[in-house]
Copies of this chain bind each other. A is one copy, B any other.
Amino acid sequence: MSIKDFTPDLPTLLEAFELRLREVVRSEVEFVRLIEEDLVTAGGKRVRPRLVFLASNALGGVPYAMELALAVELLHSASLLHDDLVDDAETRRGKEAAFRKYGNAVSVLSGDYLLSRLMALLAQTGRMELVAMFAETARQLSEAEVLQFQVAALHDYSLENYERIIDGKTASVMRVACEGAAVLGDAPPAEREALARFGSFYGQAFQMRDDYLDLMGTAEVLGKPAGGDVREGKVTLITLRLLEAYPEEVGAIFKRRAAKPGDIARLQELAVRSGADLEVTEAIAARVDRAIAALRALPHSAYRDELEALARRELVRIK
Q: Does A170 contact B (CB under 8 A)?
A: no
* A113-B28 in contact (CB<8A): no
* A149-B119 in contact (CB<8A): no
Main secondary structure of the interface of A (DSSP, over half): helix
In Å, the complex CA distance between A117 and B118 comes to 15
Give per-residue flags for A65-107: 1 if the beta carbon is below 8 A from chain B beta carbons, else 0.
0000000000000110010011000000000000000011110
Contacts of A142 in B (CB 8 A): 32, 109-110, 112-113, 115-116
Q: With A113-B143, A141-B112 in contact, is A105–B123 under 8 Å at CB?
A: no
Q: Does A136 contact B (CB under 8 A)?
A: yes
Q: With A110-B146, A120-B135, A143-B28 in contact, is A105–B85 under 8 Å at CB?
A: yes
Q: Does A3 contact B (CB under 8 A)?
A: no
Interchain CB contact (< 8 A) of A29 among B109, B123, B147: B147
Q: Does A6 contact B (CB under 8 A)?
A: no
Q: Please classify how large the interface on chain A is, using the bins under 10, 10 to 19, 20 to 34, 35 or more.
A: 35 or more
* A82-B106 in contact (CB<8A): no
Q: Does A46 contact B (CB under 8 A)?
A: no
Question: Which one of A109, A110, A113, A118 has the greatest number of beta carbons of chain B within 10 Å?
Answer: A109
Contacts of A116 in B (CB 8 A): 135-139, 141-142
Question: Which one of A105, A118, A149 has the greatest number of beta carbons of chain B within 10 Å?
Answer: A105
Question: Which one of A85, A112, A145 has the greatest number of beta carbons of chain B within 10 Å?
Answer: A112
Distance in Å from the Cβ of A158 to the closest Cβ of chain B? 14
The stretch of A9-17, A124-132, A214-222, A250-258 in contact with B is A124-132
Could you name 23 residue pairs across A and B whose Cβ atoms are closer than 8 Å? A29-B143, A29-B150, A30-B150, A31-B147, A31-B150, A32-B143, A82-B108, A86-B109, A103-B149, A104-B104, A106-B150, A108-B108, A110-B146, A112-B138, A113-B143, A113-B146, A115-B142, A116-B136, A117-B135, A118-B135, A120-B139, A123-B128, A128-B131
